Amino acid sequence: MTKKTRSYRGMHRSLLAGLALCTAIGIGSAQADAITVYTSYEEDEIAAFLARAKQDMPDLDINVLRLSTGDLHARILAEASNPQHDVIWGWAVTSLIDPRIGELVEAYTPEGIERIAEQFRDKDGKWFATTGYMAAFCVNNEVLKNKNLPMPTSWADLTNPVYKGEVVMPNPASSGTGYLMIASILQMMGEEKGWEYLNSLDGNIAQYIKSGSRPCNAASEGEFAIGASFALRAIKNIDEGYPITMVIPSEGAGNELEANALMAGSKNKEAAKRFLDWTVSENAVNEYYNWKEIVTVTGGEMPEKFKEAGLPEDIASVMWNMDFVWSADNRAPVLERWQKELER
């Protein structure tokens, strides 16, 4: 890893820690409004988004708890009788549409909601999605060359025996990225053939990793040839100088929307609503485009480095048309079977 990369990551960790400290102490203002936000955004994304939010709303203290999608799901349900947060921010739609979660949030229409197409909003107004992410492979060019391995182009390719022990992917029980991969495979292939494929793929998997970003980082650092991850992490790592290629599976990229919602039990609803309004603001959208391959709010423009890394401007052309209701309704049985048959 280069010194530049270590400095880059250290900078974001420091920024996030500093923001968390500032929000916790109220930046010296006893009169500031304060909210607690639960999110599954990546840490570097949170740091950038919060920095922008603090510029726009300096009198609002935003305390953030970040957990992976599955862990956050478990925590919110565990706290159902006494919620400890005001807002859900950037969390998987397939988790938010769980009826048990639906009982804990209330409808809210933020200012500017017309900038988000109806397909990205709950029909009852309980959530709206502003961003999203999609699956992609991070393939280390140097490892391929050193081991004389071919460049994969599809999920089907990953079952090739030459990749045995060279593939890592997220654990779907803890990672939203991992679950969208499993769900998309089962939707693409049908459940019977999909499970046959997953069992075949398992023969080449070196590790199932808790985080959605870590497989890409592991491949980027040369630990493995292929890390199944999400497109933005691949783009960021390419931009940082890692010797990887981003591959969007030719079958279509599984994807997930990241949504926001107001907790019915919030004791700081006016401040919470103000934050939710900000999440669809022009400044927020411009910041999203620095970090997200899927932005549902009109305005903004895809950065050149995204295109240079291989992301098409028409990202819908490479996205699998996910059935989010199926993903949500089948989450428990899919994960139960996956843990029984494949988790290790």
Q: Could you tell me if 57 and 9 are in contact, meaning their C-beta atoms sit under 8 angstroms apart?
A: no
Task: Please name the amino acid found at residue 314.
Answer: D
Which tokens in the block code for residue 224? 């493995």
- Tell me 153's DSSP state: -
pLDDT digits (tens, 9 = 90+) for 199-212: 999 999 999 999 89
What confidence tier does 29 reach under pLDDT thresholds 50, 70, 90? very low
Beta bridge partners of 319: 253
pLDDT digits (tens, 9 = 90+) for 165-197: 999 999 999 888 999 999 999 999 999 999 999
Closest CA to 271 of 20, 34, 7: 34
What gap in Å lies between CA 230 and CA 136, rounded to an integer? 5
Give the chain's mean pLDDT. 90
- Tell me 264's DSSP state: T
Distances (CA, A) of 74 to 29, 33, 110: 34, 28, 27
pTM above 0.85, yes or no: no
Q: Could you tell me if 76 and 99 are in contact, meaning their C-beta atoms sit under 8 angstroms apart?
A: no
pLDDT digits (tens, 9 = 90+) for 58-112: 999 999 999 988 899 999 999 999 999 999 999 999 889 999 999 999 999 999 9
Sketch out the chain's domains with CATH numbers: 3-132+255-301 (3.40.190.10), 133-254+308-341 (3.40.190.10)
